[in-house]
Structure 1
């Protein structure tokens, strides 16, 4: 019994182990259109007795998971949910997320992902923009309280409360009820609130809903680092295609049993597809962690060694910082993939040396469901490359100043993408949708080039490029040079005004524990690895660098700080004039 869905016969079938690696990457290959509900249904049929989910030591089989999904889908229908209605999931990685995600999709509802750490203002925007009327939350006071306070303003009809004690092993559930009382949400048993157990109380069959793969499945809001967050409309076809592309990239079927350590949050699109959807497709056991904490992370790996591991650069950096005695055992890994942000070469090499695990860097964006490229799991990994195109994906490098022109190999330009994983557009934003496509290809806003073998190399974000004396200076090039110094743990480069050049670079760094270097010495080091235009005008050493809510290093706070510093200096000068 295989763990994967059956592929259509093809000379380059991704499941054929004898097929050359390059054949499986043909842009002409096309995954079969399918629904996310069919994905979970087939896995439940094929692998019902297999463990599907492990949460803090408590497990559920695929058969049990399937029953809960059916009951939750029926419960949503009893609440009046119809095709096209939006249901928001404001949940950490728990069995509740998986059940409600597939339950909503099976009846044609649209999932809206909400980061539980969002501020009330951020939640307000997403709820109003999406029009979600039902929001699922854990019974955690901090998260529930934010949603409850927005209920009237955002016209919510139901807050679905998911009790943490209900999914914990017996002893841990007892301890949660006894020792974590101050964290428990207090809510009225009124018309606004509904408990998860009441949602799944009925066992009646789900009423059939006519669905096609092109139907909207998820509204995945972009991070909003360059403006107001927009909802990328991801269809069933988009999301299942990306999971099937990932399967093909890893050469088809994975021999059971497979086990995925799910520490990246499902409300982020990388984990949604690469961790959740792909693991369900593979019939893998999902070992869920509701949040990252190093002690629990290491204990979980000892308890359930993973065969599949997906991380972001900050996670690999944290592992690299461990003492030798605490480095986890990754000897059983079949695939270890980094995404979400560029992976510095020094970080990858250090991780591989210390753990013995091979890391494949990938690249994607919310608008592409999200994966576009990835280094081969078994083939050649090239330094500072985010790999080759996913099966069925085409990469075009276009002139940023003349997007109608496709540039030759080796030249830097805007990365543009075609493929079945590319979104249907932005929710209620036709003008911005039109702007993000060029001749049918998705404009990523990233600058990079392809080599002769199709490996993609990113140099920076289009809007992050520093224009210095008429030259393009790419912050990532500066950051990569900084990572070459053994004292540097994290680095962010931004552009600052320069009266002579227009802009120059400023570098912010965090040092490894126990290391030291002065800004002057670091500048001398960088001068040996960068050209004169690229060398930063200033270096600032900090105890920590800002991050986004999903752990990526973030530039916008530093840009805002520098702007405020300049404005304060101008105001002070004006006051002294």
Structure 2
């Protein structure tokens, strides 16, 4: 455990901290699996996981973690340094496998089940993961099967999806959805498949593993796919535990029992892994899960469980706020909604506020920081449009994009971070690691500034910055202006080559159901809100806008689509 003495003259945010929060608090860096097993021992009869009405107690969670860790050691030789890939949606299998890998001494490599086989191949090969834990749902299993056939993975541990369901749903699934399950015995790799339930049933305890929290890697999280092949951010046990500790101090008891945390965001994403799983479970707090976001399922979950903390992304909050079927009564149990993963527009904030009286706190982070760096207060209101204040034990500075020198209060610059949650390095990427840091500070690639009270405001991503006629044009500014129109539901802006300006902004817009407006009418509306330099060269209307799995609007697909369309014409 370690802490730093605050220097208020360079940390203006400390004066704005809510009462009771100390920037220099000592952070708990015990490995996360040790913390969760301690929580299980403290109250074994309490409910740890709720999955579609089926529950797992903390005692059951601990016994399965221990048994699976022992099986991983004995059957696959998992030890310190072993990479184990997890390709699982939100089910009880995920936390069991995650903590078991860590208890066995291994490193978790998260894999998005919606990735293509090509994308998964790069991650598996780069990480050197020999074992993958996955599901027997056909659409997921067939990808894992191909990874084994291609030689990227040696062995699979397969979880039987119906085992995660409560009894009645398990029976119904086995009858009505049988075709959705892979036929494992008929698989060409059947001899390289182990069954999760068989491994756990053996109940063999693992051998002891001594973990150095500061240097041993807990999670190798792949990131940066929009700028080339994903890189493996190496997060130590201390990185992950420190960020949990920072969030706990910031929450002032929010994540303690009898709270219930909604986990609709996928655990394999760093935001959900930390905020929806690690923080609550290590506090002995119940996690209520959904395998994916569906509005009706989420509303039913809230009604049934009365969960009170909702980590979310802006598009999820927007869907809830705009849905006619979502009533204030159904959302009444939510006390705090935490928005992350993308910028939260004032329009979404206002729309959600009409449906829910919950505190809506925007946070900010990145994979390389485990991930949370800043957050609005979780118990009292914060400044609107701000991503809040740096967490305890976290330092932030802003650096001029041209001179690489720190800038003052109110001046825009690249956001750079220091703190115990910052990654060790990128795996086998010395140059990328060197490029990710400046004088020991993590470069975020985001542009923003801090006001006199220490509140942080983001402007945009450096890589999304559009240089038009020599001026910096930030897509977020244009997107915010578009979202201010009542007819606009979603907006995403990219930069494209322009013979005259060098680059020009192009706006993609999804209108609300039943709304109608022309591009020219929308430009007239924008003219009062943005400059001529910022005015989109073209506004393209689409029925849907591409998103990442956690619901973040994606520019990558729009760039590819626009490039293809211009090449064709």
Secondary structure, counterpart of 1:453 in structure 2: coil
> 1:390 maps to which residue?
391
Secondary structure, counterpart of 1:191 in structure 2: helix
CA–CA distance in 2 between the matches of 1:113 and 1:325? 33
List per-residue Cα deviations over 1:315-347 (Å, max 9, x = no partner). Answer: 011112211664563333342100011111110
Contact 2:313 2:342 in 1 (8 A): yes
Decide which moves more: 57-66 or 494-503.
494-503
> 1:465 maps to which residue?
465
Deviation at 1:26, TM superposition (A): 5.0
List per-residue Cα deviations over 1:118-172 (Å, max 9, x = no partner). Answer: 1110111111011111111111111111111220323533211101111211111
Matched, 1:117 2:114: yes
Query: In the TM superposition, what are the counterparts of 1:412-561 in structure 2 within 5 Å?
Result: 412-561=412-561
CA–CA distance in 1 between the matches of 2:181 and 2:133? 15
> 1:16 maps to which residue?
none
Contact 1:219 1:231 in 2 (8 A): yes
CA–CA distance in 1 between the matches of 2:444 and 2:281? 28
CA–CA distance in 2 between the matches of 1:244 and 1:91? 26
> 2:12 maps to which residue?
none
Deviation at 1:223, TM superposition (A): 4.5
Contact 1:124 1:154 in 2 (8 A): no
Residues 136, 469 of structure 1: CA spacing in aligned structure 2 closer, same or farther, 3 A cutoff? same
Query: In the TM superposition, what are the counterparts of 1:219-238 in structure 2 within 5 Å?
Result: 219-238=220-239
Deviation at 1:282, TM superposition (A): 2.6
List per-residue Cα deviations over 1:518-553 (Å, max 9, x = no partner). Answer: 111110001111122112122111111111233211
Q: Decide which of 34, 48, 63 is 2:59's aligned counterpart.
A: 63
Q: Which runs of 5+ in 2 are unaligned?
A: 7-14
CA–CA distance in 1 between the matches of 2:499 and 2:44? 67
Query: In the TM superposition, what are the counterparts of 1:86-235 in structure 2 within 5 Å?
Result: 86-188=83-185, 190-214=190-214, 215-235=216-236
> 1:266 maps to which residue?
267
CA–CA distance in 2 between the matches of 1:518 and 1:298? 35
Contact 2:546 2:557 in 1 (8 A): yes
Secondary structure, counterpart of 2:273 in structure 1: helix
Matched, 1:366 2:367: yes
Taking structure 1 as the reference length, the TM-score comes to 0.93
Matched, 1:52 2:53: no
Contact 1:305 1:329 in 2 (8 A): no
Contact 1:413 1:449 in 2 (8 A): yes
Contact 2:69 2:205 in 1 (8 A): no
CA–CA distance in 2 between the matches of 1:308 and 1:232? 28
Contact 2:81 2:217 in 1 (8 A): yes
Deviation at 1:45, TM superposition (A): 2.0
> 2:34 maps to which residue?
38
Deviation at 1:411, TM superposition (A): 0.7
Contact 1:217 1:235 in 2 (8 A): yes
List per-residue Cα deviations over 1:255-289 (Å, max 9, x = no partner). Answer: 53110111000010000001101111232111111
Deviation at 1:441, TM superposition (A): 0.5
Deviation at 1:242, TM superposition (A): 1.0
Decide which moves more: 147-156 or 422-431.
147-156
Secondary structure, counterpart of 1:118 in structure 2: coil
Decide which moves more: 318-327 or 264-273.
318-327
Matched, 1:251 2:252: yes
Deviation at 1:191, TM superposition (A): 3.1
Contact 2:475 2:494 in 1 (8 A): yes
Secondary structure, counterpart of 2:535 in structure 1: coil
Secondary structure, counterpart of 1:497 in structure 2: strand
CA–CA distance in 2 between the matches of 1:22 and 1:255? 18
CA–CA distance in 1 between the matches of 2:456 and 2:282? 27
CA–CA distance in 2 between the matches of 1:383 and 1:476? 16
Contact 1:74 1:202 in 2 (8 A): no
Residues 209, 349 of structure 1: CA spacing in aligned structure 2 closer, same or farther, 3 A cutoff? same
Contact 1:313 1:343 in 2 (8 A): yes
Contact 2:375 2:390 in 1 (8 A): yes
Contact 1:262 1:286 in 2 (8 A): yes
Secondary structure, counterpart of 1:395 in structure 2: strand
CA–CA distance in 2 between the matches of 1:28 and 1:296? 41
List per-residue Cα deviations over 1:389-408 (Å, max 9, x = no partner). Answer: 111111110112222x1110
CA–CA distance in 1 between the matches of 2:545 and 2:532? 26
List per-residue Cα deviations over 1:12-56 (Å, max 9, x = no partner). Answer: xxxxxxx99457655433412210111112211222221101111
CA–CA distance in 1 between the matches of 2:282 and 2:336? 15
Contact 2:299 2:326 in 1 (8 A): no
Residues 513, 240 of structure 1: CA spacing in aligned structure 2 closer, same or farther, 3 A cutoff? same
Residues 124, 327 of structure 1: CA spacing in aligned structure 2 closer, same or farther, 3 A cutoff? farther
Deviation at 1:473, TM superposition (A): 0.6
Residues 325, 234 of structure 1: CA spacing in aligned structure 2 closer, same or farther, 3 A cutoff? closer
Contact 1:351 1:357 in 2 (8 A): no
Contact 1:127 1:154 in 2 (8 A): no
Contact 2:117 2:143 in 1 (8 A): yes
Taking structure 2 as the reference length, the TM-score comes to 0.94
Residues 256, 331 of structure 1: CA spacing in aligned structure 2 closer, same or farther, 3 A cutoff? same
CA–CA distance in 2 between the matches of 1:162 and 1:502? 52
Contact 1:85 1:132 in 2 (8 A): yes
List per-residue Cα deviations over 1:459-481 (Å, max 9, x = no partner). Answer: 11101111111110100000011
Residues 325, 416 of structure 1: CA spacing in aligned structure 2 closer, same or farther, 3 A cutoff? closer
> 1:306 maps to which residue?
307
CA–CA distance in 1 between the matches of 2:355 and 2:33? 40
